Homo-oligomer: A and B are copies of this chain.
Amino acid sequence: MFTRIDHVGIACRDLDATAEFYRTAFGFEVAHEEVNEEQGVREAMLRVNGTDDGGASYLQLLEPTREDSPVAKFLAKNGEGVHHVAFGTSDVAGAAGAIGGRGVRVLDAEPRHGTMDSLITFLHPKDCGGVLTELVQARGATGGDGGER
C-alpha cells in the first residue's frame, strides 16, 4: 500500500534560514519551493534520496504565512520540530479508504492538492500513535509508479 517514506515535514519559523542550515550543515539542496495558500504555509522540499518505487524521499520545511494556519498553531504549542510523516502510495484515495475502514480517521473527505502537484490526505494523529500521518500520491503516479518529482 505504501511504497516509500515520501517526506518528513518540519515546522520552522524562518524557511530561508532553516533551508540554509540544511544546506550548509548537511548538504541538502532545495529542489522545490511553493506557497500553499489554502494551508497558510510556505514549503521547501529538500531531496534526500531516491527510492526503489521510482520516487524519492524529501525533507519538507514548513513556514506559516498567517497566524491562524495549522502550522502556526503547531509552532505556538510545540516550537520548531517534526510536524508530520508522509508515506508515498500510487493510489491515495484507495489507501485512505482502506485505512479508514480499519478505524483510522481520515481528515480529508477527498484527497486534496499537495506540494509539487501531488494528491494528499492526512490521518488523525490520535489514531496513529501520536504521529500526524500524510498519504501522498505523486503527480502522475498510478499503478505502483512512485513518481520521481
Distance in Å: Cβ of A75 to nearest Cβ of chain B: 9
**Minimal beta-carbon separation of A128 from chain B (angstroms):** 8
Residue of B nearest to A28 (CB): B2
Known: A51-B49, A80-B129. A85 touches B8 (CB 8 A): yes
Residues of B within 8 A of A12 (CB): 129-130
Q: How many copies does the complex hold?
A: 2
Check if A35 is an interface residue, CB within 8 A of chain B. no
Task: Name the prevailing secondary structure of the A interface residues.
Answer: mixed
- A129–B49 touching, CB < 8 Å: no
User: A31 in the interface, Cβ–Cβ < 8 Å?
Assistant: no
In contact, B25 and A104 (Cβ under 8 angstroms): yes
Residues of B within 8 A of A30 (CB): none
CB of A122 to closest CB in B, whole Å: 14
Which of under 10, 10 to 19, 20 to 34, or 35 or more describes the interface residues of A?
35 or more
Residues of B within 8 A of A102 (CB): 24-25
In the bound complex, residues from chain B placing their C-beta under 8 Å from that of A10 are 129-131
CA distance in complex: A106, B99 (Å): 39
Interface contact A129-B5, CB-CB below 8 Å: no
